[in-house]
Structures are given as structure tokens and as C-alpha cells.
A and B are shown apart, each in its own frame.
Chain A
Amino acid sequence: MAGLLAPLRTPRGLIVALILLVFAVLPLLTQAFDQRYLLSIGTRIVIWSIAAISLNMILGYGGLVSFGHAVFFGIGGYAVGILAANGLQSGWLQWPVAIAASVLWAALVGALSLRTRGVYFIMITLAFAQLVYYVSAGLEAYGADDGLNISRSRFDGLIDLRDKASFYWLCFVLLLGTLWFCGRFANSRFGFVLRGAKSNDQRMMALGFPVFRYRLAAFTLSGAFGGLAGILLANEGAYVSPAMMSWVKSGDLIVIVVLGGMGTLFGPLYGTIAFFVLEESLKPLLDLVHKGWGEYWQIVFGPMLVLIALYARGGIDSLLGRRHG
């Protein structure tokens, strides 16, 4: 028990504990203050956090700048949506199919893109994501550009995803699971190989590691968790559309990971919270200054990012003091 409470003795540990505590009771808070809208934002923060953590696995720990990660929102989402539109409502079917589709796509894209480096890798991952984007926009049977309204996955007798609080808690538990896995992963043999390859891949190969295989496995793993986030996002809005996986969303995910702190366990969580809180607060603030300006909130957000890039290279995580271990 003492070991479990030890992290609370540092400011960093306290902040994490506080954030997770607020997240754990969020539906109770929003109900008490009658702020339903906030629960919806909270749910999206949790889902985006899962996606950001999954991107951080390859971007933060692997140093692989994938510029197409939102494609997994789309693949996870559309797998659920297309099955639902064909009358297959069971989550027990939808979810494994969606994860399997994400894994397959990640393996295929990874096998081709990981043979390149730097800017080529960025462009190839973007190109593959755009490919899926345009295919989804061309699916006339499934709403094409307009997207597709769906009913939520059914886990009969277990949980009703139409209940906002239940759905939120499911997302939260999955976020905890993702965090737990990522924490173990980062310090496992696999994680060390991935991080070593980020540090110096020539050296890792000379040590005898087939670096490509480990990167491919990481890319695939990352896709699986990204697909999970896609499943949740589709269920959150009861809607899927090509816009879920536009390249802008992929960019947002990179921004979130960099903002929060690449290669740190809780960085993606901080980044997602900061991103959503800034978006939700800058919009009305700017609208207050001049009606219609809220749409351009990124004019303020952009310079903030530049400052982070210049003065806090480790992102928000680095502002919380030195890390231990």
C-alpha cells in the first residue's frame, strides 16, 4: 500500500492522481451541476487521450512521426458503422472486427512506410490515410461525404452505451487500461528496443536487433489502440463520417502529443486536456472580443504551440519538474 501511495508524494504524482480522480467522478459532477455538455466534452477528451497515447507509442517512444494516425479513428469507426448499418449491432462482433481491421491496416501501412525515413515516412503515412479518407467519402451506400448515423454497439445485459454516464465510465476504464499497458510497455524489453532505435538505430542494428520488425510491431500495436479510440468515437456521436479521419485530425493528434510531452506516459493525457480546454475556452473568449472570431481560435493556439516548441521542448510534462525513473 505504501508503494502504491508513494507517487503521491511528488507534485507530479499528485497532479496525475487529481486528474484521474476528477475523471473518475466526472459524470457525478456534471450531473450535480447540471452540465450535460461537459460530460460530452469529457468523454471526447478520454477517447482522444486513448488515441494520443497510441500515437505516443510510435511517435514518442519510437520517434516515428506518423502523420496519418486519425485514419484509425476512421477504420475503427467505419467498421462499427458499416456493421451497424447492415443490422449487426452486437459489440461482441463489431469491436473485434474493428480492432482486427485496424491491426491489418497498420501492419500493411507499417510494412511499406517503415522502409522510409524522415519526411518520406511522414508523407507516406499521410498518403495512406488520405487514401482511406477518399474511399470512405466515396461509399455511397454508407452516406459518402455526409457520413452515417448509426445506433450504438449493443452489449446486451452487460452495459447500455446509450446511457451517457455508463458509456463515459467504459471509456474511462479503457483509458486506464491503455495507460497501464503503455506504462508497462515503455519499460519492457520491447519498449527499450523501440526507444533504443529512436536514440540510435544504427547502433541497435549493430547490437543485433532487427529494428524493422520491432518498429512494425509497435506501429501495429499503436494502430490497435487507435482503432479502439475510433470505435469509441463512433459510439460517442452515434455517427461516423470521413471528417473523423481528415488529415487535420492527424495533425491535431501530433500537436497533442508534442504539447503534452513526447515519450512520457501522461503527456498525451495532459496534451488532450489542454487542447480541448483551450479550444472550448478560446472560442467563446474570442467571440466575446468580436462576434465570429471564435472560429479562428487557432490563431491564438498556434503561437502558444510555438512557445512550447521553443521554451518547453518536453511539453507540459516537462513543466511539472523532473521525472523520477
Chain B
Amino acid sequence: MKALLRKDFYMSIKYARIWGFSILIFLFVSVWGDQTSLFALYAIFMAGMLPYTLMAYEENCKWHIYCKIFPYSPVQIVSEKYLLTLLSIGSVGLLWVFLHFVHTLGSPESSPFTQFTDLLPLLAFGLIGPSMILPVLFKFGVTRGRMMYYLFIALIFAVSLILFSHEPHFLLNSFLFVWGLLFLFIFSWFLSIHFYKNTSYEHF
């Protein structure tokens, strides 16, 4: 698992620079701009895209076949992507909290803990994309799952735009929303393991 995380770290440094830069811009706009919730959601949504961005590169160089020769179990291969999702979303979430702290520095209510109440629902929102897309990619591969992938992205953006242009915090602050998405993420994790174990590489 550590080896796979290390590989993805090296790949992220090389291939995900623009992705990281875009997230930073969204975070800055969310902290210093008007539509704060919406841009924070975009940033967190993009953070969740890291695993499947890397999976596209992996499929391109045939790593997804090559890695099967190494002593990694299917559970490790799948779990690493889910762990990467959590790390990526978690890091961006913490960065968002830090930027808010910097933004309010000097004011009486300034505290690094002020934003933590909003952090959990924000992180939960970031899990929607990976929860829906990763099982599809583990089942069909990135190339064949690409159309599904674009459909999901469009759907998630459309839903978030509708929801957050009206009542931004109504759904996000719901206890059910957070736990529901956490459950969805865990279910997706097990589903991906099941799909990956039964994937044959005859057509890849």
C-alpha cells in the first residue's frame, strides 16, 4: 500500500500541477470572494478527482496490467485509491480551514477551529464523485468508463448548482447528509474491490 501511495505521489507531482493550481484558485476565491460555499465545493470536488485522473495516466501506460505482477493484493490496489481520495480531500479541506484562519487573522473571532463545523459536510460532499465513479472505473477501466465519468461530473455540477444557488447550507448541514455520503463511500469501496477481483484483462 505504501508503495502504491508513493507511486501516486510521484505521479501527482508530475501530472497534477495544473489540477493543484486550480484547487488553490478555487480555495482563494471561496475564502476572499462572494460565492464562498460554491467555490469551496468546486475545490473539494476537484480534490476528489485526483484518483481517477491518475488512473487515466495508469491505463495509458498499462500500469493497471503491469501492477498485477507485483505482490499487491486486489484489496490493496483498490483501497489505495480510496485512501488517496481521503488524503486528497482531507488536505484540501484542511487548507481551506487554514486559509479561513489567515483571512480572519486579527479579528476577535479569529480561531483555527471556527471553520471546523463546516469542514465535515464539505468533506462529505467531496466523497460523492469518487463514490460514484471509482466502481465504474474499476469495473470497465478508464477508457470504457469515460462516458459514464463525464455524465457523473455533469450531473454532480448541475445538482450542486441548483442546490447551492438557493439554500446553501440546508442540505450540507444535515446529519443524514454527512453519514449518508460516508456510507455511500464505504459501500463504493467494497463494490470496487468486488469489481476489481472479478475483472479480467482480456480486452484491455
A and B together in one complex: no
| A residues adjacent to B (C-beta < 8 A) | none
| B residues adjacent to A (C-beta < 8 A) | none
